[in-house]
Amino acid sequence: MKNIILIAAPAAGKGTQAKLIEEKYGLIHISTGDLLRSEVSSNSELGIELDKIMKKGQLVSDEIVEDLLRKKINSSNSNGFVLEGYPRNLNQASRLDVILNEINKKIDYVIYLDVPFEIALKRSSGRLQCKYCGKIYNLNDEKLRPLKNGICNNCGKEIYQRNDDNEESFKIRFNTYLENTKPLIDYYKSKGLLKEVDSSKDCYTVFSSIENIIGK
C-alpha cells in the first residue's frame, strides 16, 4: 500500500503522471481539480460559483476543496492513492495530516515535479482532456496526441480544452503556485518525504524516474 502526493506547477504533468501511476500500481487517482470540474459540469449552484473562480485561475476556498476530498477519500476503498492538486497551501497540508490521521493512513512519498515556466506554459496551451474519463492529451507532444482529432483513445468520448488553459489564466495560476504551493516543498522536505523529479523531459522518461522512487 502506497500513498503518494504529486506537487508541481500548473501543467507540469501531474495529471499525466498520476494516470500512469494509477495504471501501473493500481492506486486510486484523486485530483481535486477533476473533483471541482465535475461539480462545475453538474451545473449546481456551487458549480456555477466554482467555475467563475477557476476560470480566473484563483484558488477555491480550503473548506470546499476539503469537503470534496473527504468524500472521495472516504468512498475509495483501495490499496492506496495518488493525490494531485492537493494540498495547494500550508493550511491544506496540515488539514491533510488531520484527515489521514483520522483514517489511519499516512503519506509515503511526496514527489515534486520540477519544470520551468516556459515548458509548463507550452504544455498548458496544448493540453486537452477527456470529459468522461479524464485522460489527458497534449497537441504539443507527439507522444500525447489523440489518435483521432477531438476523440479520447480510451473511451471514444469528446476531449476538450479547459477554460483555464489560456495564457492569462495560466500566468495567474503560476503565480498562485509560487506564492502558495511552492512553500510545501520545504514543508515535506523537513518531514523527510520529498523526492524531486525533473519533469521537463518527455512523459515516459519522467515516469521512469518516478518508478525508480516507488519501485519498478
Candidates 80-88, 119-127, 151-159, 184-192; binding stretch for ligand AMP (CB under 6 A): 80-88
Contact status, residue 150 vs residue 158, Cβ threshold 8 Å? yes
- The Cβ of residue 179 has, within 10 Å, a number of other Cβ atoms equal to 10
How far apart (Å, rounded) are the C-alpha atoms in residues 178 and 168? 16
Catalytic residue among 37, 72, 88, 123: 88
Active site residue 37: no
Taking the CA atoms of 181, 99, 69 and 76 in sequence, report the sign of the dihedral they define: positive
Active site residue 162: yes
CB of 215 to ligand AMP, least distance (A): 26
CB of 113 to ligand AMP, least distance (A): 12
User: Residue 41: is it exposed, middle or buried by C-beta count within 10 angstroms (0-12/13-18/19+)?
Assistant: exposed
Q: Strand ranges (DSSP E) for the chain? A: 3-8, 28-31, 81-84, 109-114, 127-130, 136-138, 159-160, 194-198
Q: Alpha-carbon Rg of the chain, whole angstroms?
A: 16
Q: What are phi and psi of 119, to 5 degrees?
A: -70, -40
60 binds ligand AMP (CB under 6 A): yes
Catalytic residue among 19, 95, 127, 135: 127
134 binds ligand AMP (CB under 6 A): no
CB of 85 to ligand AMP, least distance (A): 3
> What is the spatial order of strands in the sheet that 28-31 belongs to?
28-31, 81-84, 3-8, 109-114, 194-198
Here's the x/- map for ligand AMP, 12-51, by CB under 6 A: it reads as: --------------------xx--x---------------
Q: Which is nearer to ligand AMP, 72 or 173 (CB)?
A: 173
Please pick, from the candidates 16, 92, 124, 199, the single residue that binds ligand AMP as defined by CB under 6 A.
92
How far apart (Å, rounded) are the C-alpha atoms in residues 111 and 84? 10
Active site residue 173: yes
59 binds ligand AMP (CB under 6 A): yes
Instruction: Show contacts with ligand AMP in window 141-200 (CB under 6 A).
Output: 164, 173
Q: Which residues bind ligand AMP (CB under 6 A)?
A: 10, 32-33, 36, 53-54, 57-60, 65, 85-86, 88, 92, 164, 173
